[in-house]
Structure 1
Amino acid sequence: MSRDLIEKLTHSRGRLVEGLNLSCDIKKSADEGGCGVVGFCCTEPVAGRHIYEPSRQMHNRGNGKGGGIAAVGFDPGQLGVSRKTLDDYYMLHIALLDAKVRTEVEKRFIKVNFEIAASGKLDTVKNWQSVDGLHVRPPDVWRYFVRAKDNVLDKFIAENNLQQLDRRDAEDEFVNQNSFRLNQEYYASLGEQKAFVLSHGRNIMILKVVGYAEAIVKYYKIENLRAHVWIAHQRYPTKGRVWHPGGAHPFAGIDMALVHNGDFANYHSVSEYLRQRNIYSQFLTDTEVSALLFDLLSRTYRYPLEYIIEAMAPTTERDFDCLDEEKQKIYRAIQASHIHGSPDGPWFFIIARNIARQNMFQLL
């Protein structure tokens, strides 16, 4: 992507936060201990019950204050849509902590902006207390298959001078910014959170609970839901009362989900790096800024995967010395540009991606 387009995208995100009451303080909502992460990717779709057992075996790596699962690459028949809808439309998953706000959320952020191919509430068991591993009633989750309305997207492109940007890339950015606005209105700016976006990519779903990850499989009745990629996370926050799953992993970017084990010594630095590019966290965790950083490097800067990894986890010492001269030159330039935004561990990521234009699913 050209420098000019990058600057215009960054400026559009600056317009997004104008007038918002964003705190100047950068802080985390909770410290985290040694969390549990797991993931697998298969050429054939695999039923959700197969993420249940590895999640359960990580039970001791969580403390019941947050569990999450993400899946990528579904069977359209199981979701009640066509293959074209599954491939082309964004799967917008919204968690309703207060079910009464659904009509308002739909009116302000969904129906006005999107063509909706299909929608519905995810099925659940009747009694959440019958599911082992749940500490709080999970949120109602509504799924919408959406594409931006032509006139809405045209206006967004014109207002932000993004005419040179590929139209699908502009739609990705519109979806991303719409989710930010929704979260800011119903989650980040409220004393009592009411709703937030779980995921907003194509052919991808994220679910979270206050409890253990394996409980998601039972509560949302996804034992037989098939997908090519599954990842799960057991959260271990070490301070603070947790009553809703907003801070649980995975965290979403466009067409990706990320889980994380470890802690950042430089959370403040990474957050400042993102803010300088008009990207603001809303859930105040290491993992959220990791997902935002990966999304920035891949979707805005368009780095190939090798350069994304180098920007986030710089090669050092003897490993760097063993590189050939040309590779050292490239890596040195990446490090000079991004070292202040590189997470300082120890940390470990698992990332599930839908690379839609290549018709490929990926587990990193």
Structure 2
Amino acid sequence: MGFEIIMPRIRRELYNKEICACSIFGAMNQGGERVSASGVMKAIANMRVRGNGLGGGFAAYGIYPDYKDYYAFHLMFTGKSPQAKQEAKLELEDFLSSRFDVVNDEEIPHDDEVKLRDPPLVWRYFVLPKEGWDDSGIVPSEGDYIADQIMAVNAGIDNAYVFSSGKNMGCFKGVGYPEEVGEYFMLDRMYRAHTWTAHGRFPTNTRAWWGGAHPFSLLDTTVVHNGEVSSYGTNRWYLEMYGYACTLQTDTEVIAYAADLLMRRQKLPLEVVAKILAPPIWNSIDRLPEKERKLLTTLRMVYGPLLMNGPFAVIIGTTGRMIGLTDRIRLRPITAATRGETFYISSEEASIRLISPELDRVWTPNGGEPVVAELKSTKKVLI
């Protein structure tokens, strides 16, 4: 009797989860000159292959000179029906009227000819806290008061989300490719900013929805992110102890809140913040001179739960500053460049050269080391 031996064909199953995509781009005119979004939209569109059309967005600084002293709240109302969206809007406006003086509000202009998936009702309010907001003496600062109210809205009012809340700046985001989101909000036609950041999304762990698109923002801090924060659970637990409510269903949210906690509330130097978020490994710390070794050991002990584990590259924006940072071993790409007074940060050099073919300097920042662009003066920003 013969036997036919059939050897099973062993095939290597390809890893079908894409975790190295997403595109980030930033441009700052350090002289404070405000420019349109056309260049940034062109640059981020050049990295279209890094996304899949499930999220895109922009942050812009210096766009509201007529309301520069007011907080610009951008709201999205995401109910499944027009009635649900209006009900959320009415509840939100009742909330605002009891806590803020609203000097102007309007629907954020958009182009309905640009077709994006399931667009929410998107509105903006220019506000200041009502007189007496600090009578209790419990809230340390106006910024903390604003942040507390944003957390209350995002966690407590169904279908209402504050996705931008700084002064003289704003975020615009949605489900689509970033250039489509830019066209939807007519960014190249309606706004001029001294600093633009942009993001093209390839969701890995969470569903695609408007609130989950980047940038993530709190007050004037914005974050666009490429990568995956595997320490999200620990980071979230730590931030919740300081009153931050993570409600937007993606890991990038913790980076924005960590930046707010460390830079605004605790006023730590940027170099220290970078060593908290992306510290050297212990073997490297052990080989450092004693003074530096003690500092980094202390930071790891005190701020261990804020270590952002996993591969990442981020651009953090604040008023007057744009920061690029990668994980400590640089598992996600980032390139920096300058031309005249313009400073660029990008996932790919090609996107920078597309809008600025001749550059004065191009370099690749080291892992865990921040690259920083700053305005030379804030006076031009306020004109």
Q: TM-score, normalised by structure 2?
A: 0.72
Q: Deviations over 1:272-326 (max 9, x none)?
A: 2223334331112110011111111122222111111111011236764675432
Match of 1:176 among 147, 150, 163: 147
Q: CA deviation at 1:341?
A: 2.2
Aligned to 2:237: 272
Instruction: Determine the C-alpha separation between the residues in 1 that align with 2:308 and 2:217.
Output: 18
Instruction: Determine the C-alpha separation between the residues in 2 that align with 1:262 and 1:239.
Output: 11
The reply to whether residue 154 of structure 1 matches residue 134 of structure 2 is yes
Structure 1 pair 128–97 and aligned structure 2 pair: CA distance change class (3 A): farther
Match of 2:290 among 325, 328, 331: 325
Alignment check: 8 A CA contact 1:33 1:238 kept = no
The reply to whether residue 362 of structure 1 matches residue 327 of structure 2 is no
The structure number with the bigger radius of gyration is 2
Tell me which amino acid in the other structure corresponds to 2:100. F
Aligned to 1:110: 96
Aligned to 2:197: 231
Residues 72-83 of structure 1: pairs in structure 2 closer than 5 A: 72-74=61-63, 76=65, 81=66
Task: Tell me the SS of whatever aligns to 2:188.
Answer: coil
Which one has a larger percent helix, Structure 1 or Structure 2? 1
Q: CA deviation at 1:362?
A: 3.2
Aligned to 2:330: none
Alignment check: 8 A CA contact 1:33 1:237 kept = no
Alignment check: 8 A CA contact 1:40 1:363 kept = no
Q: Deviations over 1:147-181 (max 9, x none)?
A: 10012x134x43x2x4xx4xxxx211111111111
Residues 7-156 of structure 1: pairs in structure 2 closer than 5 A: 33-42=20-29, 43=31, 44-74=33-63, 76=65, 81=66, 85-86=67-68, 88-98=69-79, 99-101=85-87, 103-129=89-115, 134=116, 136-151=117-132, 153-155=133-135
Q: CA deviation at 1:342?
A: 0.3
Instruction: Determine the C-alpha separation between the residues in 2 that align with 1:266 and 1:117.
Output: 41
Q: Deviations over 1:333-362 (max 9, x none)?
A: 1111112320112111111111xxxxx343
Q: CA deviation at 1:228?
A: 0.9
Instruction: Determine the C-alpha separation between the residues in 2 that align with 1:105 and 1:220.
Output: 25
What is the Cα-based RMSD across aligned positions, in Å? 2.3
Q: TM-score, normalised by structure 1?
A: 0.76
Stretches of structure 1 lacking an aligned partner (at least 5 in a row): 1-29, 188-193, 355-359
Q: Deviations over 1:3-45 (max 9, x none)?
A: xxxxxxxxxxxxxxxxxxxxxxxxxxx9955211111111321
Identical-residue share of aligned pairs (%): 31
Aligned to 1:15: none
Instruction: Determine the C-alpha separation between the residues in 2 that align with 1:94 and 1:31.
Output: 31
Aligned to 1:4: none
Instruction: Determine the C-alpha separation between the residues in 2 that align with 1:31 and 1:280.
Output: 28
Instruction: Determine the C-alpha separation between the residues in 2 that align with 1:143 and 1:121.
Output: 6
Task: Tell me the SS of whatever aligns to 1:119.
Answer: strand
Structure 1 pair 103–95 and aligned structure 2 pair: CA distance change class (3 A): closer
Instruction: Determine the C-alpha separation between the residues in 2 that align with 1:348 and 1:126.
Output: 33
Instruction: Determine the C-alpha separation between the residues in 2 that align with 1:141 and 1:75.
Output: 17
Structure 1 pair 249–103 and aligned structure 2 pair: CA distance change class (3 A): closer
Tell me which amino acid in the other structure corresponds to 1:257. T
Alignment check: 8 A CA contact 1:97 1:139 kept = yes
Match of 1:342 among 291, 307, 327: 307
Aligned to 1:208: 173
Tell me which amino acid in the other structure corresponds to 2:107. K
Tell me which amino acid in the other structure corresponds to 2:134. D
Higher relative contact order (CA 8 A, sep 6+): 1
Q: CA deviation at 1:205?
A: 0.7
Instruction: Determine the C-alpha separation between the residues in 2 that align with 1:240 and 1:331.
Output: 33
Task: Tell me the SS of whatever aligns to 1:296.
Answer: helix
Instruction: Determine the C-alpha separation between the residues in 2 that align with 1:245 and 1:102.
Output: 16
Task: Tell me the SS of whatever aligns to 1:249.
Answer: coil
Instruction: Determine the C-alpha separation between the residues in 2 that align with 1:237 and 1:127.
Output: 25
Structure 1 pair 337–31 and aligned structure 2 pair: CA distance change class (3 A): farther
